[in-house]
Amino acid sequence: MGMDATTPPFPERFNLARYLLDARVEEGRGDAPAVHDGDRTFTYGEVLALARRAGNVFRELGVEPEDRVLLVLPDGIEFVAAWFGLLEIGAVFAMANTIHPGDDYAAYLEYTRAPVAVIAASLLPKFEEILPRARHLKHLLVVEAGGAPDAGRHPSFWGSIHTASDRLDPFDSHRDDIAGWLFTSGTTGRPKAAVHFHRDFAWSVETYAKEVVGYAATDVTLSVPKLFFGYATGTNLMFPFAAGGATVLFPDRCTPEILFAMIERHRPTILTSVPTMINAMLQSPAARDRDLSSLRVCLSAGEALPPELYRRWIDTFGIEILDGIGSAEMFHIYISNRFGEVVPGSLGRIVPGYEARIADPEGRELPDGETGTLRVRGGSTALCYWQDRDASRGTFRGDWCVTGDQFRRDAAGLFWYEGRTDDMLKVSGIFVSPLEIEDCLYRHAAVRDVCVVGAADREGLTRPRAYVTLKEGACASEALARELKDLAKRTLSPYKYPRWVCFVEELPRSDRGKVQRKMIREGYPLKAIHPEIDLGGRE
């Protein structure tokens, strides 16, 4: 494409739904499969008809252009119809996970001021409880299990859809009208919403999706993360639709067994995953017997992919993983590995249409090889954080987004992630990335998962502390802890070995699957399976 980071490639009047969905039907792909949802397959023509019906339902419920509507739905055709229906009428999507407690939904409703929320019927008890506090909410649109209309006290999604017209002229959006809010993952407190225009999302289609991954009409996509997460909204909805491909959706919480079965049944070509699931699939006893031959690529993002996991994945399945980094602030991936050029441990090169630099705390660009804060710019940068001017000014500085991620760039132009700014450890006067220690410990056959944080020793000096979960059949012991210490000392500089090893049942994770390192650092109570082992000494 060859665009620079400031050139807008989209016309002034631009609607994301028309770009992703209507255009496919106008191209003659109305009868092509678009969504595989369980035993149901929906063509592009059928999805467009459902989206227009949904748009008319929203209008009947009083939704106006620029209104936010909260979607709290499992993955399925209902999510797709509602999401596109909102864009068709110029409304703004805001998406939340289906596993939150009621108080979180009350906060989302207050923050978005959504007049309508589309929810799964299973969530009705939570929402009924918070309705007295939802002062802006006028209607709950309820998606019933199995798609059956239900004459309850709230409007039925399918009941309303069945009686609505499928004739609707898309709203004449400006490319810089707001299309969606993407919530930051936020380890504590309320997540912030990054506010995005219609063309922001299309920019990532034209750059990452088309130029890096090469989505095509022949592609079938499958995702571990759910559609509420911007990473999956892109790779498993926007990107295949832009190319005329098909997406596979399922509502269940993802497990290796479910994923293997879905791959063997639907034969996807692109798998969107995260390091946690990559690790879990590798640990499945039947991993080498499962057929993943339909896949042409696996995508990874959300957290750093340890090189050891990449090497084991290639050895087991032989399918290339393109690891990359993106954010809610930039919508999607802006640094990524490329086909045939993957360097394990690196995140690859800058995606076309973006620029990146490594800077010191004062914003001065650093030379290759030095670690600093990553700054990135491109055509998908969010407008702001809603209702947070101070945080917006700290992150969005002119054209640049200051990520808070610590990176270094090597002489070949490859970017290497060193962790979040507040994750770095200063051990023996030298900055250490916990990711380097974690990747080393993953090489031990007994380790299932690991998180390294800093802790103070008796002298008040910072040392690495490793929280480790074990594979089935492995036993926590002082001997195993010393094996981990020896492995680290053989592989890394001696001062990087974990001073303490804590064997625990599970590590806390966000609703996006990331290990909550900050929670662990701040003393989140973990269930130990062995007393903490002090490996002693300063070396």
pLDDT at position 113 is: 97
Kindly indicate the confidence band of residue 361, based on its pLDDT and cuts at 50, 70 and 90. Answer: confident
Question: Does position 3 have pLDDT exceeding 50, yes or no?
Answer: no
CA 536 to chain centre: 39
Mean local confidence (pLDDT), 147-153: 63
Residue 188 is predicted with a pLDDT of: 39
Q: Is the dihedral of CA 482, 487, 493, 498 positive or negative?
A: negative
The CA distance from 378 to 356, in Å, is 9
> Concatenated DSSP letters for 316-371?
HH---EEEEEE-GGGSSEEEE--TT---TTS--EEPTTEEEEEE-TTSPBPPTT--
The stretch 88-95 carries a mean pLDDT of 98
- Residue 471: its pLDDT value, please? 92
**Top-confidence residue, 95 or 517:** 95
Confidence of residue 34 (pLDDT cuts 50, 70, 90): very high
Task: For residues 262 and 265, give the distance between their C-alpha atoms in angstroms, rounded to a whole number.
Answer: 5
More confident residue, 518 or 345: 345
Q: What pLDDT score does 539 carry?
A: 44
Lowest mean pLDDT among 173-177, 252-256, 421-425: 421-425
- Phi first, then psi: what are they for 435, rounded to 5°? -65, -35
Alpha helices in 116-227 (DSSP H): 124-130, 157-163, 198-204
pLDDT exceeds cutoff 50 at 217: yes
Give buried/exposed letters for 420-440 (b at 16+ CB in 10 A, else e): beebbbebeeeebbbbbbbbb
**Mean model confidence pLDDT for the chain:** 91
Nearest to 295, CA basis, from 316, 276, 267: 267
- Per CATH, the number for 16-409 is 3.40.50.12780
Listed ranges 51-65, 265-279, 492-506; the one with the highest mean pLDDT: 51-65
Give CA–CA dist 277/292, Å, rounded.
Answer: 15
Average pLDDT of the segment spanning 280-291: 92
pLDDT for res 538: 42
Average pLDDT over residues 213-235: 97
Domain 424-534: homologous superfamily in CATH: ANL, C-terminal domain (3.30.300.30)
pLDDT digit string, tens, across residues 61-86: 999 999 999 999 999 999 999 999 99
Residue 182 has pLDDT above 60, yes or no: yes
* The predicted structure's pLDDT at residue 456: 80
Mean pLDDT over 312-338 rounds to 97
Rounded to an integer, the average pLDDT of 215-231 is 97
Residue 7 pLDDT > 90, yes or no? no
What is the reported pLDDT for 396?
A: 96
State mean pLDDT over 364-371.
Answer: 95
Q: Where are the beta strands (DSSP E) in 387-523?
A: 396-397, 400-409, 415-420, 425-427, 430-432, 447-456, 462-470, 500-503
Is 150's pLDDT higher than 90?
Answer: no
Query: Does position 491 have pLDDT exceeding 90, yes or no?
Result: no
Q: Is the pLDDT of residue 57 over 60?
A: yes
Position 185 confidence tier, pLDDT thresholds 50, 70, 90: low
Q: What is the pTM of this model?
A: 0.84
Q: Give the model's confidence band at 279: pLDDT under 50 very low, under 70 low, under 90 confident, else very high.
A: confident
Higher pLDDT, 513 or 267: 267
* Residue % of the chain over a pLDDT of 70: 94
Residue ranges per domain, the chain?
16-409, 424-534
Of 178-182, 313-317, 456-460, 506-510, the least confident: 456-460
Q: Quick count: other Cβ atoms within 10 Å of Cβ 148?
A: 10
| pLDDT beyond 50 at 2 | no
| pLDDT above 80 for 1 | no
Question: What are the distances in angstroms from CA 30 to CA 24, 44, 450?
Answer: 7, 5, 47
Average pLDDT over residues 110-123: 97
Band (pLDDT 50/70/90 cuts) for residue 430 is: low
* CA–CA gap between residue 386 and residue 460 (Å, rounded): 40
Question: Is residue 14 classed as helix, strand or coil in its secondary structure?
Answer: coil
